[in-house]
Amino acid sequence: MAASKASRIGEEIWKTRIDKVNAELVTLTYGTIVAQLCKDFEDDYPEVNRQLDKMGYNIGLRLIEDYLAKSNTMKRCSNFRETADMISRVGFKIFLNITPQVTNWTADNNSFSLVFDENPFADFVELPDDGRAQNELWYSNILCGVLRGALEMVQMQVEAHFISDVLRGNDTTEMRVTLIRYIDDELPPEDD
């Protein structure tokens, strides 16, 4: 499916089939979760990243169904490039109203970057200035988990992690997504 068509679908669904919610409510809710995790794990940021990823994973497992139901595209993507376009132009569009750029493909088409020009989770956020958060905390790490969970449900095992974040003072916010393998259909257990 062409990228422009994906954009159209995303736009269409966003306009007609999505219940909207106040953006600040989302921002503050997510912020509270991250802040609370930091508190609960006593500023063990790598652990907070892991927890966020895990929460995202559990969201992704469900969110994919909503995505499939709303997008009505009951066909599999024919390749990983198409998957990337659908993630950005339909998935992110309908759930967060953003379309991160899909870029920096590797030659084997198995790995790409999502560059976030805007990130509704990160409005108002300044990382704690304890000298570690800037280097250790990936504030929006929940998104990695969401992608991992959602793609696993449609039989793609991927690895996703952030490699830069404007909150850390980087120029861009960039997530790296790598396809590890397509998961085979599970077979019914052999009857004895």
Partner 1 sequence: MVVYSFYIFDRHTECVYVKSWMPPQVPGTPAPVLSTGSDNAKLIFGTVFSLRNMVRKLGGDDDAFISYRTGQYKLHFYETPANLRFVMITDTGSASMRNVLHQIYINLWVEYVVKNPLAPVEHKGGAGVNNELFELGLDQFIRGLM
Partner 2 sequence: MSYYFAIVGTQDNPLFEYEFGTSKQGGDGQSRFTEQVRHLNQFILHSSLDIAEEVQWSHGQIGRGLTGGGSRNGRYLKCIDKFFNNYISCFVTGGNVKFLLLHQPTTPTSTASSRSSTAIGANPTSPATEEAIKMFFMEVYDNWVKAIMNPFYKANMEVRSPIFRARVAAAGRKYL
- Partner whose footprint covers residue 102, from partner 2, partner 1, none (CB < 5 to 8 Å by kind): none
Count of residues engaged in binding partner 1, rule: CB under 8 A: 22
With contacts defined by CB under 8 A, name the span among 7-15, 48-56, 103-111, 180-188 that binds partner 1.
180-188
* Contact pattern from residue 20 through residue 59 relative to partner 1, giving x for each residue in contact according to CB under 8 A and a dash for the rest: --------------------------------------x-
Q: What gap in Å lies between CA 43 and CA 107, rounded to an integer?
A: 39
Q: Which is nearer to partner 1, 3 or 77 (CB)?
A: 77
- Partner whose footprint covers residue 24, from partner 2, partner 1, none (CB < 5 to 8 Å by kind): partner 2
Q: What gap in Å lies between CA 160 and CA 186, rounded to an integer?
A: 24
Contacts of 118 (CB under 8 A, 6+ apart): 98
CB-CB contact of 148 with 58 (8 Å): no
- Helices marked H in 41-166: 45-71, 80-86, 93-96, 133-136, 142-153
Binding site for partner 2 (CB under 8 A): 24, 27-28, 30-32, 34-35, 38, 123-129
